Amino acid sequence: MDYQALRKIMVEEQLIPRGITGERLINAFLKVERHKFTPQDLKDNAYADFPLPIGQAQTISQPYIVALMTEILDLSGEEKVLEIGTGSGYQAAILAELAKEVYTIERLEGLANKAKELLSGLGYQNIKFKCADGTLGWPEEAPFDRIIITAATSAIPLPLAQQLKEGGRLVLPLGENFSQVLTLVIKKNGNLESENICGCVFVPLVGGFS
């Protein structure tokens, strides 16, 4: 398999026609080897236009959704980003290409360890890992310029709202099981202002504040 060619096709057929055109973002998608983040037997589907199972009943999102959430975060390269739901680590790798520092939390130890090993092996030094309930955030490292929640919840966990910097952006799938709205939240004068982006489907956020 020529994975580099598959990445180019993914970008040209799935991202650019849907309006994902930022050069830094496109370059990150051309660079990060998504097939290293999917299970061995699904590698040949790694660049396809759908989510894939990664074990323990969890999924790696469709490439376009990863791109859309990242675009909405509006990263210049200077940001400190908190990700809730490390999963395979693919979204964390994309974030690490585009932001200064990434703090990622996963509640399932098997996935957390695997992602840490993979991303460390790939040479990422700007990603910090934690295996814990991400709805509590990472208070020692707060505040964050950006927060991304890659699992669905019906309300924004309070600790995460508190750990978002003034002027900061938070993106999450907001709603019930099997149907949510991808939502952008911006903190302005201490208030959270929300904007609906599109419908989406994520696995549930499971934690004390979900």
Cβ distance to ligand SAH smaller for residue 39 or 143: 39
Cβ distance to ligand SAH smaller for residue 71 or 133: 133
Site for ligand SAH in 9-68 (CB under 6 A): 58-61
Q: Is residue 127 a contact point for ligand SAH (CB under 6 A)?
A: no
Q: How far is the CB of 148 from ligand SAH (least distance, A)?
A: 8
Could you tell me which residues come within 8 angstroms of residue 117 by beta carbon, excluding any fewer than 6 positions away?
Answer: none
Site for ligand SAH in 91-110 (CB under 6 A): 91, 105-108
Q: How far is the CB of 61 from ligand SAH (least distance, A)?
A: 6
Q: How far is the CB of 196 from ligand SAH (least distance, A)?
A: 21
Site for ligand SAH in 177-206 (CB under 6 A): 203, 205-206
Q: Is residue 163 a contact point for ligand SAH (CB under 6 A)?
A: no
Catalytic residue among 61, 76, 88, 120: 61
Told to judge if 88 belongs to the known catalytic residues of this protein, a careful annotator would answer no
Catalog residues that contact ligand SAH under the rule CB under 6 A. 58-61, 84-85, 87-88, 90-91, 105-108, 111, 133-135, 150-151, 203, 205-207
- Annotated catalytic residues are 61
